[in-house]
Structure 1
Amino acid sequence: MKSAARLYAVQALFQMESSAQTVQAVTREFETHRFGEEIEGEEMAEGDAELFRKVVAAAVNWQAKIDQATDRALVAKWPIDRIDPVLRAAFRAAGAEFVDLDTPPKVVINEYVDVAKAFFPEGKEAKFVNAVLDHMGHELRPEGW
Structure 2
Amino acid sequence: MNHPARSKARSAARLAAVQALYQQHMEGTALARLLDEFHQHRLGRTIDDDDFDDAAYADAEVPFFDDVVRGVDARKDEIDALVGSKLAAGWNIARLDKTMLQVLRAGTYELIARVDVPAAVTINEYVDVAKAFFDDGQAKFVNGILDAVAKDAR
TM-score in terms of structure 2 length: 0.85
Q: Pick from 43, 49, 54: which aligns with 2:62? A: 49
Percent of aligned pairs with the same amino acid: 39
- Give the whole-Å Cα distance in 2 for the aligned partners of 1:45 and 1:129: 24
* Deviation (angstroms), 1:72: 1.0
Contact kept? 1:2, 1:51, Cα under 8 Å: yes
Please list every run of 5 or more consecutive structure 1 residues that lacks an aligned counterpart in the other structure.
none
Query: Where does residue 20 of structure 1 map in the other structure?
Result: 28
Q: Pick from 137, 141, 144: which aligns with 1:131? A: 144
Contact kept? 2:42, 2:57, Cα under 8 Å: no
Query: Where does residue 31 of structure 1 map in the other structure?
Result: 39
Q: 1:67 to 1:36 in 2, by over 3 A?
A: same
Contact kept? 1:94, 1:133, Cα under 8 Å: yes
- Give the whole-Å Cα distance in 1 for the aligned partners of 2:45 and 2:84: 35
Report 1:1-145 matches (<5 A).
1-38=9-46, 40=54, 44-45=58-59, 48-101=61-114, 102-120=116-134, 122-141=135-154
Runs (4+) of structure 1 moved beyond 6 Å?
A: none
Residue correspondences, number = 139
Contact kept? 1:69, 1:140, Cα under 8 Å: no
Deviations 1:65-107 (A, max 9, x none): 1111101110121101110010100111111111221211101
- Give the whole-Å Cα distance in 1 for the aligned partners of 2:104 and 2:55: 27
What is the Cα-based RMSD across aligned positions, in Å? Answer: 1.5
Contact kept? 2:103, 2:126, Cα under 8 Å: yes
- Give the whole-Å Cα distance in 1 for the aligned partners of 2:81 and 2:121: 22
Please list every run of 5 or more consecutive structure 2 residues that lacks an aligned counterpart in the other structure.
1-8, 48-53
Query: Where does residue 5 of structure 2 map in the other structure?
Result: none
